[in-house]
């Protein structure tokens, strides 16, 4: 997903509380010139619309600073919210152009009906639902699909079992379990009944 957001450079000497009262949300842009940053303001309605569609460290945002002027591809790195109201009161963007691969947060999308659930009465346990990956800004996947169809009771898929899109790599090597099929009372009973039938036949 990619979207465009327009903003302005924050007036020097302006107070953040006064900006918020006037319907503007303070923000910062990092990475466009090394360690230099730009203080910005974005209309509160624009921020509300942005946060309905964008995900932190996942959505590529075309940020347009009208009065400098500057425009470039960025990632939303941080959203600070008010502890009482829960409303956003500060945003941080990171310019990705010229930085090569960047680290993004990508959710997992589990697809298929696991054999262990559908036929054996087990329960699907999604241990990890998202992870950090490295990729070029124009190759950020909306989600990474994990097919659980062939998982039986007691089976699991680990991080290194995931089939990744081309150009996407895991940010941190891990052998953690991503998803598994757990035994339930129903699956244990079914296995016991199957064993009893097998014994009686012999």
Q: What is the pLDDT of residues 7-26, one digit of tens each?
A: 999 998 899 989 999 999 99
Instruction: Say yes or no to pLDDT of 196 above 60.
Output: no
CA 180 vs CA 21, 140, 145, 148, 152: distances in Å: 49, 26, 15, 9, 9
Looking at residue 190, what is its pLDDT? 65
Distance (Å, whole) CA 120 – CA 156: 15
Of 76, 147, 143, 68, the C-alpha closest to 108 is 143
Instruction: Say yes or no to pLDDT of 34 above 70.
Output: no
Which pTM was predicted?
0.72
Average pLDDT, the chain: 88
Distance (Å, whole) CA 66 – CA 74: 15
Q: What is the pLDDT of residues 44-68, one digit of tens each?
A: 999 999 999 998 989 899 999 998 8
Domain 102-197 sits in CATH at 2.170.120.20
Domain 2-95 falls under CATH 3.40.50.2300: no
Looking at residue 32, what is its pLDDT? 74
Read off the tokens for 93. 């963007």
Q: What is the pLDDT of residues 128-149, one digit of tens each?
A: 999 999 999 888 998 999 999 9
Read off the tokens for 56. 């932190």
Spell out the domain ranges in the chain: 2-95, 102-197
Q: In what order do the strands lie in the sheet with 102-111?
A: 144-147, 102-111, 130-135, 169-170
């Amino acid at each position: 997903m990619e979207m465009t957001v327009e903003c302005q450079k924050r007036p020097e000497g302006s107070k953040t509380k006064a900006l918020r009262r006037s319907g503007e949300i303070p923000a910062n842009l990092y990475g466009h010139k090394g360690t230099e940053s730009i203080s910005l303001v974005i209309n509160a309605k624009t921020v509300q619309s942005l946060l309905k569609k964008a995900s932190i460290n996942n959505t590529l945002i075309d940020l347009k600073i009208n009065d400098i002027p500057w425009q470039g591809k960025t990632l939303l790195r941080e959203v600070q919210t008010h502890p009482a109201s829960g409303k956003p009161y500060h945003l941080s963007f990171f310019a990705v152009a010229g930085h090569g691969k960047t680290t993004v947060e990508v959710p997992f999308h589990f697809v298929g009906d696991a054999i262990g659930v559908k036929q054996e009465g087990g329960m699907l346990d999604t241990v990890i639902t998202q992870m950090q990956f490295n990729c070029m800004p124009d190759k950020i996947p909306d989600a990474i699909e994990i097919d659980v169809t062939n998982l039986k009771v007691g089976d699991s898929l680990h991080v290194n079992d995931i089939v990744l899109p081309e150009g996407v790599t895991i940010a941190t090597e891990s052998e953690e379990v991503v998803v598994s099929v757990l035994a339930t009372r129903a699956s244990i009973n079914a296995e016991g009944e199957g064993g009893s039938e097998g014994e009686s036949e012999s």
